[in-house]
Structures are given as C-alpha cells and as structure tokens.
Amino acid sequence: MPDTHPTPTPTPTPTAPGGGLVPAPLSIDGPGSGTVRLGADTALAAGTGTEGTARWLRDTLGAAFGLPLPPGSGKAPDTLALAVDPALPPEGYRLAADARWGVRITGGGPAGVFWGAQTLRQLLGPQAFRRAPLTPGCAAVLPEQTIEDAPRFGWRGMLLDVARHFLPKDGVLRALDLLAAHKLNVLHLHLTDDQGWRIEIRRYPKLTEVGAWRERTKLGHRASPLWDERPHGGYYTQDDLREIVAYAAQRHITVVPEIDIPGHSQAAIAAYPELGNTDVIDTTSLKVWDTWGVNPNVLAPTDTTLRFYEHVLDEVLALFPSPFVHIGGDECPKDQWRASATAQARIAELSLADEDALQSWFIRHFDRWLTDRGRRLIGWDEILEGGLAPGAAVSSWRGYAGGIAAAKSGHDVVMCPEQQVYLDHRQHPSPDEPVPIGFVRTLEDVYRFEPVPPELTAEQAAHVLGTQANVWTEVMDSQQRLDYQVFPRLAAFAEVAWSRLPAPAARDYQDFTRRMAAHYTRLDALGVGYRPPGGPLPWQKRPGVLGRPIDGAPPNV
C-alpha cells in the first residue's frame, strides 16, 4: 500500500523542471554536454529488491529498442544499474546518466526504483513507449544528467467505474500501465452499482448470473430520449481479479475494491430480492437498472443483509490485499427506510435518532468487521452523516467540506472533489464536446487543483493521505470515450499528486504545456485517444447525444 502520509521533502533543492518530464521531478542537474547510449552491449545490473523493475525494463525498453539487456555486474562502463538505498524516501529515486559508465537508478525502496525507471523511459523519447523497434538497431539515447525526485503524496489515485459500463480485463490492465506511466499508485475499482455487479462471488452466483447484465442502456444523460437496446454487462472472475491485482503489484499500484452499500445496490437486489426493503416494494420485480441517477432501492437494514455482505467481503478480502476496502456509503435515499416497519423497528431497537443514524450504524458495523480482520474502511463523505465510523477514512467527493471536517476530527482523507477532479466533467464549453457533463474542467483547471485546503493546520493536513481523480462511466461506453475524457487531464492531475508545486495561482502552466508537447508524442506512441488541444477530432464527437452541462465556475465547497 502507498505511504499513508506525505513524504518528507528530500534534501535536493528544487530547480526548474526540464526534459519534457511529466510529472515534473524535484530537481534536475543537467542536461550535460555528453550523451548516454543504451545499445546491444548494455548490461542490466539489478541489485537486491530491484528484480521486478529489471523484468519490466526488459519487457518495455528491451521490446521498444530491440535490446537484450543481459544481466551484468554493474562494473562495466556500459551498464544500466539498479539499486536500493534506504537513505532515500521509500518512493524516491535518483537517476544519474553519465557517458563514462551509463545509467544508475537508485531508489529508497523497490517502488522508488520503478518510478525512476518510468522517468528513464520518458527521457528516451516516444520510441520507448512502442512495443517493437521502428527500425532495426535503433539506439536508445539520453543526455547526461542527474535527477532526484520523490512524491508529495502517498495516495495518488484514479477511480475507474466498471459498474456503469463494463471494461474488459485487458482494458483494466491497460489502465494500470497508463497509471504507472504517470507515477500514480492507486486504482480504486468501483465494482458494484445499480447498473451492474462486476465481481464473481462464488457463494452467491446470482450476483453475476443476474446482476452483471442489464437489458438495455440509456444513451447520454438520464433525460436523453435515446436508448442502446443491446444488453450490456460482464464481470471479472476471481482469477481475473487475481491477475489484475498481481499485474498492479508489479507496477507498485494498490487496487482498492469498492463494494457499494447500502445505496447503489439495485443490481444486488435484482439478484437476491431478500436484500431489499420487501415490506415497502415488490423487490422480485426489480431488474438491473438501465438508466442513471440516484436510485431509491436500497438495502434493508436486516441481519440477513449484514450476513450476506460479510460473506461477500470474505471473498473480496481474499482477492485484494489492499489495507483499505471502500464500501461506498453515498447517495442512499432514506424514503424506503422511513416507510419500512422493519427499518423503523431496527431504529427503535438500537435507540437511534433517525434514518441518518441508521446508515451510520450500517457503516459502523462493517468498520468493526473490517478492523477485526486487519483492514480499514474507507467511504464517501456521506459516512460523516449520523456520526463518523471510528477509524474510517473518507473519500471527500462532494467538495472539500467533508474532507476538512474529517481531517479536523483526526480521520484520514483522500481528496477527490467532484468540482475539481471528476474527469467525466466536460473539458471545454464548445458544443462539440461529446456528451457534455457537469462543469468545464480544462487541463489548466486540473493543473491548478490543490488537494490540501488552506483551512487545515499542519497537523490536520497530515491526515490528507493524498488525492484521486474519479472516472465515472455513465456516458463512457468504450475505451475511446475513456481515453478522451481522461487524457490529457490525468497527466495534469498526476503532476498535482506527485510534484511539490507552488500555490495554484503561482503554478507555471506555460511550462507544463511546453512539457506536454513532448508528452503528447508518448501518448501517441501508446495509442491513447486523448482530447487534442484544439478540440475533438471528428470521430471523437457524439452529436445528438444529450449531456448535462452546468454553466459557470464550480463552487468551492
């Protein structure tokens, strides 16, 4: 799991970033007058703790340049040497390129070595991001220089919503590669919602037999008159998820699973109607939801429901070693609980004040359950309502306020305010933006996002574990649409999460755009269908599909 608090600033003095690197490193000494060439004779010397990065380098740089990178001792002059030095921060690294001996990457830990290797890949140009050499015998060349670097935050994440639109396993593995290329280290995988259940639970097979499939899908915003009449669905087998978790771990990325409770649960209720409020509605009539919004059908606060989700989470914990498990807790309408004799009896039995307190009881139950098993609960900021679960961490999505309140009360926070870093929001006010949702959040807006509110003291700010960009997929029904919404803004977000930037107004956006000119060529080599600076290409537009644009600047709440 990533470090849970910001890494102390290392000793090098920051200098103006250069080399087209994204995110910007802490310091660069150079480039010098000479160059370092990695060729057929270059050996790869992997010290203890760096073996995983050595394998990754052979798979990537070896393939891109046709380099064998045979094992070496590190004593030959033409060497790519990897080593661990605990004196550096755990995710920090030093990359030194010198024509006299080659390249040395030293990390404070295995993760630091890996992030240094990602920087090396960027320094070698867009060719390093291809899967085969463009010309036989092409050289990998970089200028002499020394780079010292370490991240600002230990949690540098992206939420990927695979519940609304399912992304096949290969797409998730591709997303992990893209996160790693930007030095992001958390994938928050949103696995369940009203529109689909995406994780195989062997004890309850109907969750995927029934809950993973919907009959049709709303096209665009929920007010749109258009429908895609094709059935939609899919799920990950437990072996798929083991593969995803292992692939992520090789890239020093933690996969945090989300099982949404007690709201956003219609897919589960459609599979197992006893989970719903059966004394209020006929839950046997419910199907996997085919449209978007806040759904009124929520879990019943019964012992049956608690035992069911404990069994689900037993299997989740066996698949995901993440210290954190996300249980949602957001957008849970209380109307059915108000009308339910069963829910009201539970409120009376527990001497609770109201339905908000009933939701808090629900969350606290799973907080204790996870704590007893050595894990930590994290949930959306609604878990603050009715009393914050002890030991729980908060994903602050409705703005900064929930995160501020949680940090001030001594709880850990991941900042992901929708007004700033929801990447489903549109990137430009132009009517050509495909399915425009929400506020305009340009590349510059994301670059000027600051995760730590100024209201927090230094002690309170230490509870900000980091930050996360959220990718909700109601209107993203393909990899092409995902690429367009996520990039290039994820590159700006990655710099916010990694680099020690000045205050938002003082950030050098022009320098960032200069470095992005080089970074676009890397994204091109990777085949990423990002939004071009000049606007969408013809095939990226979605004319006639209704969105929900919101005018004006987003509130700072």
- Rounded CA-CA distance 288/197 in Å is 9
- Rounded CA-CA distance 12/446 in Å is 27
Set 190, 252, 264, 326: catalytic member: 264
Could you tell me the two tokens for 85? 């030095």
Torsion of CA 58, 250, 260, 3, to 10 degrees: -120
Set 149, 193, 194, 367: catalytic member: 193
DSSP string over 440-500: ---HHHHHT--SS-TTS-HHHHTTEEEEEEEE--TT--SHHHHHHHHTTHHHHHHHHHHS-
Active-site residue flag, 290: no
Cβ atoms of 253 and 184 closer than 8 Å: yes
Stretch (H or E) spanning 328: strand 324-328
Q: Parallel, antiparallel, or unpaired: how do β-strands 192-193 and 196-197 relate?
A: antiparallel
- Rounded CA-CA distance 45/502 in Å is 37
Set 98, 177, 315, 331: catalytic member: 331
* Environment class of 541 (CB within 10 Å of its CB; exposed 0-12, middle 13-18, buried 19+): middle
DSSP string over 505-548: GG--HHHHHHHHHHHHHHHHHHT--PPPTT---GGG--TT---E
Active-site residue flag, 349: no
274: left (phi over 0), alpha (psi -120 to 50) or beta: alpha
- Rounded CA-CA distance 18/31 in Å is 9
- Rounded CA-CA distance 6/190 in Å is 25
Nearest to 466 by CA among 192, 252, 157, 242: 157
Could you tell me the two tokens for 117? 């290797």
Active-site residue flag, 264: yes
- DSSP 8-class letter at 375: -
- Rounded CA-CA distance 290/271 in Å is 15
The 10 Å Cβ neighbour count of residue 123 is 22
Cβ atoms of 350 and 361 closer than 8 Å: yes
Q: List the catalytic residues.
A: 193, 264, 331
